[in-house]
Amino acid sequence: MKIIDILERIDRRIIYLVLLIVVVLPLIFPSVQSVRVMPPVEKFFNAVDKIPEEKALIMDFDYTPQDMPELEPMGIALLRHAFKKRIKVLALSLYVQPLGLAQRALTQVTEEFNSIAKTNADSVIYGRDYVFLGWQVGPILAMLSMGESITNFYRVDYYGNQTDTLPLMKLIKNYSNVGLVAALSPSDIPKYWVAYAQNRFGINVGAGVTSVSASEFYPYLQTGQFSGLMIGMKGAAEYEEMVESNLKVKGRRKASESLPSITYAHLLIIAFIVIGNISYFIKRRQK
Amino acid sequence: MKRTFPLFLLFVFGILGIIPFIIPHPVVQNTDDFLRNNLLKILAAFALILGLGSLLRVHFDKIKRKRQNWEYSWVLIITFVITSIIGLFGGVTGEGILPTRIGSFSFDIWTIYFNIEVPLGATMFALLAFFMASAAYRAFRARSSEATLLLVSAFVIMIGVLPLGESISHRLPSFTQWIMDVPNVAAQRGILFGVALGMLATALKIILGIERSWLGGGGE
């Protein structure tokens, strides 16, 4: 068999095996890869940074285990940013499945800050610095109802506390007390935030989305309907970079650690496409 | 009456859904607030029960008729029943009346979620990378000028978004960003306008009772 025939018919099991090696090796020996921060992420960072002291950041955790590798590092980086700048956080999930992942991110970042806190004022305290509203039925209902009254829609928080008894919720009544909504979602949810919450109540929206769905969100960024956009693992790594370099917040940077793996996987796929095309053109010329 | 009443309800609530976006009067806003916080929440809860009931009915029917892969329906039903019992009586983290711990082995909802659902979900999605690599090798050919353009732009985007792009040329990430900001947005905006107009037309047809397929039953 000629070499060109071999190149044209590489067994898919070989492709799977090579890809597995290329993806797994950089994860076994992780190294943080620094990235250039692009304008969409820089805008997002600045939008969070400019949230006034009296206003809160709504963090909508809508990622599921399927999209967790891309979107969870965004959530963690955003929480680090918010807690470092003492921005009040209202966390919620518009679907049931992401609740556990949202709680995990909140617990992780809270513990990071509390482990180095020296005073009560430095600590991140539930009810004072952040509230986890949990889930209520109907994503669009939640978006619309929070414009009128957050505690009226979320009468109890994720842990079963009456929301109107929490100190933070006495300050944050509705969207007029919210600086930005950060929607981390693999679906159309960030667009819904624009359609329902922004159009009607004028709230600012930032989106964290998966790479595969990114292209459809760019028009919203260009019009200014999105205050910023984070795309996939690279977007998360850029935000991690900004949080570490601008705010000096240290912590594990999962997205930045995963970039070498993604880089090699992309290169491998490109190499396979090139090989496929070379063999295709040679065969065509022979015919 | 069987058809007229749902159509009447749909018309009234369809119009009520649009009005608060246009009229900011407190009476309109308070009515809308009442509808959302009270009526719609209850309706959505019923829809949830209806959905679960429908899911079970479909799978029991599949088992009864021994349709293709009917055995997997048992997996769904059994896991549905077990997780429902644990969730309803054992609590999320094992605080309920049903014991969810045997020695050091716990099986509360969170344990099930983090040890079964999270790894299974992540695995399913991770498999895509392997199929995509294989499919790209076999099917991504520069057969025409359009396909070549697609291929080249895909390469530029793939390399440009990676840190490697910066190492090749510091202009490559900016060029990649331009592709996403200009040609991509132009195409996406066209699609968005089309979809929005289509949605508007469909919504109006449904609200005005012209489109009735949602009622089911295959017509009058």
Q: Do A263 and A237 fall within a single domain?
A: no
Q: Do A103 and A171 fall within a single domain?
A: yes
Q: Which residue of B has its CA nearest to A279?
A: B141
| B185 with A218: Cβ contact below 8 A | yes
| pLDDT value, residue B92 | 81
Q: Which residue of B has its CA nearest to A191?
A: B192
Smallest Cβ–Cβ distance between A33 and the set B21, B155, B163 belongs to: B163
Mean pLDDT (whole number) for A6-25: 91
- Closest Cα of chain B to A119: distance in Å? 30
CA distance A39 to A229: 9
Q: Do A98 and A129 fall within a single domain?
A: yes
Mean pLDDT (whole number) for A36-49: 94
B100 — phi, psi (to 5°)? Answer: -120, 30
B114 touching A (Cβ < 8 Å) = yes
| pLDDT value, residue B220 | 46
Question: Would the pLDDT of B218 be above 70?
Answer: no
Select from B35, B125, B153 the residue whose CB has the most chain A CBs within 10 Å, as the one to mutate to test that interface: B125
Shortest CA distance to A43 belongs to which of A266, A252, A168, A230?
A230
User: Over the stretch A194-220, which tens digit does the pLDDT of each residue have?
Assistant: 999 999 899 999 999 999 899 999 999
| B41 with A66: Cβ contact below 8 A | no
CA distance B50 to A137: 14
Q: Do A177 and A231 fall within a single domain?
A: yes
Residue B160 contacts residue B170 (beta carbons within 8 Å) = no
SS3 A128: coil
Q: How far is CA B60 from CA B68, B118, B216, in A?
A: 13, 27, 22
Select from B144, B158, B175 the residue whose CB has the most chain A CBs within 10 Å, as the one to mutate to test that interface: B158
Listed by number, the residues of chain B in 162-191 with a beta carbon closer than 8 Å to a beta carbon of chain A are 162-164, 166, 173, 177, 180-181, 184-185, 188-189, 191
Smallest Cβ–Cβ distance between A276 and the set B44, B45, B140 belongs to: B140
Q: Do A24 and A41 fall within a single domain?
A: no
CA torsion sign for B196, B202, B207, B213 is: negative
| A69 with B122: Cβ contact below 8 A | yes
B46 touching A (Cβ < 8 Å) = no
Smallest Cβ–Cβ distance between B134 and the set A15, A144, A149 belongs to: A15
User: Over the stretch A148-196, which tens digit does the pLDDT of each residue have?
Assistant: 899 999 999 999 999 999 999 999 999 999 999 999 999 999 999 999 9
Question: Would the pLDDT of B219 be above 80?
Answer: no
Residues of chain A contacting B150 with CB distance shorter than 8 Å: none
CA distance B55 to B18: 32
Q: Which residue of A has its CA nearest to B122?
A: A66
Q: Do A101 and A227 fall within a single domain?
A: yes
Q: Do A263 and A157 fall within a single domain?
A: no
Please report, for the domain that includes residue A185, its CATH number: 3.40.50
Q: Do A70 and A188 fall within a single domain?
A: yes
Residue B158 contacts residue B164 (beta carbons within 8 Å) = no
User: Over the stretch B11-36, which tens digit does the pLDDT of each residue have?
Assistant: 998 998 889 888 889 899 888 888 88
Tokens at A38, concatenated: 């692009």
The percent of residues above 90 in pLDDT, for chain B, comes to: 46
Q: Do A287 and A162 fall within a single domain?
A: no
| A200 with B185: Cβ contact below 8 A | no
Question: Would the pLDDT of B1 be above 80?
Answer: no
Q: Model confidence at B163, in pLDDT bands (50, 70, 90)?
A: confident
- Is residue A116 packed enough to be buried (19+ CB in 10 Å), middle (13-18) or exposed (0-12)? exposed
Smallest Cβ–Cβ distance between A100 and the set B114, B173, B181 belongs to: B114
| A138 with B125: Cβ contact below 8 A | no
CA distance B93 to B87: 9
Q: State the pairing for strand pair A226-231/A205-209.
A: parallel
| pLDDT value, residue A87 | 96
SS3 A254: helix
Q: What's the domain range around A55?
A: 35-252
B116 touching A (Cβ < 8 Å) = no
Residue A218 CB contacts under 8 Å (≥ 6 apart), including other chains: A229, B180, B181, B184, B185, B188
Q: Model confidence at B204, in pLDDT bands (50, 70, 90)?
A: very high
B23 touching A (Cβ < 8 Å) = no
Q: Do A262 and A232 fall within a single domain?
A: no
Q: Do A136 and A198 fall within a single domain?
A: yes
Counting one residue from chain A and one from chain B, the pairs whose CB atoms sit within 8 A come to 141
In eight-state DSSP terms, residue A162 is B
| pLDDT value, residue B48 | 85
Q: How far is CA B62 from CA A20, B59, B76, in A?
A: 37, 5, 12
Q: Which residue of A has its CA nearest to B151?
A: A273
Smallest Cβ–Cβ distance between A16 and the set B36, B45, B130 belongs to: B130
Q: What is the number of domains present in chain A?
A: 2
Select from A6, A17, A213, A269 the residue whose CB has the most chain B CBs within 10 Å, as the one to mutate to test that interface: A269
Q: Do A235 and A285 fall within a single domain?
A: no
Question: What is chain B's Cα-based Rg?
Answer: 26
